[in-house]
Chains A and B, each alone.
Chain A
Amino acid sequence: EAGVAQSPRYKIIEKRQSVAFWCNPISGHATLYWYQQILGQGPKLLIQFQNNGVVDDSQLPKDRFSAERLKGVDSTLKIQPAKLEDSAVYLCASRIPSGTGELFFGEGSRLTVL
């Protein structure tokens, strides 16, 4: 079974530039999450999708972050414009809709904002 795919693995940008991250979840996993992991901290939820609908985006800084999952499969997270404090690893995770399911994580996309 293929895992959660993410790209790019690493990205370095200047502040005020834009960046986009892509995620392809495990086949059949209707629930998809984007987490932000700052060095030394645990993952913090940015947004949760169920199929192509947003379930929870209460922690997403909507003035600069956006995410979409147009066909209910892969997803894109965009930051525009980036700030220094956005330097982090962006983790995509997916699971089956059953409430007891564990999360399957991708390798993450490490963003450095200079």
Chain B
Amino acid sequence: AQSVAQPEDQVNVAEGNPLTVKCTYSVSGNPYLFWYVQYPNRGLQFLLKYITGDNLVKGSYGFEAEFNKSQTSFHLKKPSALVSDSALYFCAVRATGAGKSTFGDGTTLTVKP
């Protein structure tokens, strides 16, 4: 069975500071890893994904994520946070060859001016 853990329910940062939202996963075989963002009363929007290759992947809105196979982690990062980044962030994993994506319970990011 595959699973995702997002250890922090809430992350608070000041605008202009770097941010990190943590994610660890468990899956059989090689993982496909994803980050999605959800704004209030909206569906989830894709941010970025790791499939293979370079461990640092870049995505939308200046976000990036680092894949660490030994630590089974895929943390989301941004060098300089914006107030508009405030939202709910979900990490998801899908095993190679599988159709099902499993999501974490989400981390609420609040960026204060």
Return the chain B residue nearest A4 by Cβ.
B43
Which parts of A35-53 form the interface with B (CB within 8 Å)? 35, 40-45, 48, 50
B34-58 CB mask vs A (1 if < 8 Å, else 0) is 1010000111111001010000000
Give the Cβ gap from B93 to chain A, nearest Cβ, in Å: 11
Interface secondary structure of A, over-half rule: strand
- Find chain A residues with CB under 8 A from B44 CB: 43, 91, 93, 103, 105
Q: Are B43 and A106 in contact (CB under 8 A)?
A: yes
Which residues of chain A come closer than 8 Å to B98, judged between CB atoms?
A: 99
Using CB atoms, name the residue of chain B closest to A49: B99
Alpha-carbon distance A47/B61, docked complex (angstroms):
31
Q: What A residues does B106 contact at CB under 8 A?
A: 41-42
Chain A residues, CB < 8 A from B92: 103
| Whole-angstrom distance between the Cβ of A95 and the nearest chain B Cβ | 9
Pick from B32, B45, B100, B105: contact of A56, CB under 8 Å: B100
CB-CB nearest in chain B for A104: B46
Report how many residues on chain B are interfacial, defined by Cβ distance under 8 Å: 26
Residues of B with C-beta under 8 A to A6: 43
Q: Does A102 contact B (CB under 8 A)?
A: yes
- Given known contacts A43-B44, A55-B99, A102 and B34 CB-to-CB distance under 8 angstroms: yes
B97 within 8 A of A: yes
| Residues of A participating in the B interface, judged by any CB pair closer than 8 Å | 4, 6, 31, 33, 35, 40-45, 48, 50, 55-56, 91, 93, 99-100, 102-108, 110
Q: A44-B103, A103-B36, A108-B43 are in contact. List 9 more A-B contacts (CB 8 A).
A: A6-B43, A40-B105, A41-B106, A42-B4, A45-B101, A48-B100, A93-B43, A103-B101, A110-B41
